[in-house]
Amino acid sequence: MIISRTPLRISIGGGGTDLPSYYSRFGGFVISAAINKHIYVGLNESFGGGYFLKYSALEQAATLDDIRHQLIREVLRMHEVPPPLEVVSMADIPAGTGLGSSGAFTVGLLRAVHALKRKYVDPGVVAEEACKIEIELLQQPVGKQDQYIAAFGGLACFEFAEDGQVNVSPLNISNSTLYDLEEHLLMFFTGYSRNASSVLDDQKVRSELGDTAMLDNLHFTKQLGQCIKQALEAGNTRRFGELMHEHWLHKRKRSPGTSNNGINRWYDVGRDNGAIGGKLVGAGGGGFLLFYAEDRDALRRAMNAEGLREVRFAFDHEGSKLLARD
């Protein structure tokens, strides 16, 4: 039995500029942080025939082509993994909530497959394989930050070159700033995100068409990401909270479906009750509201009164790793 553990993520700044439709023309910049909420993937050479898959559904497939789960099918095809094989996945937080679960799942499965074949693999190789599967093979309208932060972990800056190369560097913050972020970043569940693909597809299409409003929005978002990096590396966490607010106001204008009246109201309630700034994590439409709060107790009381559940987290500094390997 091989088991991998891969972190989910929160986007800190620059989100949206990691899509090929943008960075292939202008280059992208994103700050992302892995958190201690994980996806677990287990592989076992089973005694039965074919492929036995257990995720939110059950599948028994005789051949690769019979596998309905696209990510599992393409990972196993890429590495020519023969049957009999059992694949099992579990997660601390379910998919569709804006925390990069698809990218994390793909990275975790690839990490386990490499271990099954007894091969050492660099995090950058796993991340790029995951990107190839999601973006090139399956033509999903997603970016590259989820796969890279899942593979590397920590708090990292990603620069996306026009030719697709990714430069990875740690966010150079002090321990006191790190602890400040862990204490003052609070995350609340608003409900499942059901339209992330449509939001991202809208961004992809409009970027490729050269839509001025979309591109100007993304240019500004990339610039904000750089400003957030400077603020955090200077230890100015209050300024980071203010920039989060500015980032959210621009993200909300990017595509229809990014937000809704309920989320906007909860965001305003948060700002009225101790939060300096915040954002909806992920493409939009639901998932988690992330706030930087000056008064944590006031924010918790206000969100609890609204019926929103808090999910407490810390940062994950390890990235995708093996927990068990026979």
Which pTM does this prediction carry? Answer: 0.94
| 270-319 pLDDT per residue, tens | 999 999 999 988 766 678 999 999 999 999 999 999 999 999 999 999 99
pLDDT of residue 194: 58
- Could you tell me the two tokens for 69? 């789960």
| 102-140 pLDDT per residue, tens | 999 999 999 999 999 998 899 999 999 999 999 999 999
| Cβ atoms 44, 86 nearer than 8 A | yes
| Cβ atoms 166, 148 nearer than 8 A | yes
For 26, residues 6+ apart whose C-beta sits below 8 A from its C-beta are 17, 162, 215, 218, 219, 222
pLDDT of residue 227: 97
Task: Identify the structural domains of the chain with CATH numbers, from first to last.
Answer: 2-173 (3.30.230.10), 175-310 (3.30.70.890)
For residue 280, what is the enclosing H or E element?
A: strand 275-281
For 47, residues 6+ apart whose C-beta sits below 8 A from its C-beta are 84
- Antiparallel, parallel or unpaired: β 275-281 and 309-310: unpaired
| Cβ atoms 165, 27 nearer than 8 A | no
Q: Which phi and psi (to 5°) does residue 115 adopt? A: -65, -40
Stretches where the chain sits below pLDDT 70 are 193-198, 283-285, 326
Query: Computed from CA positions of residues 198, 150, 31, 78, in that sequence, does the dihedral angle turn out positive or negative?
Result: negative
State the alpha helices, DSSP H only, in 234-295: 237-254, 261-272
pLDDT of residue 119: 85
- Could you tell me the two tokens for 3? 């088991």
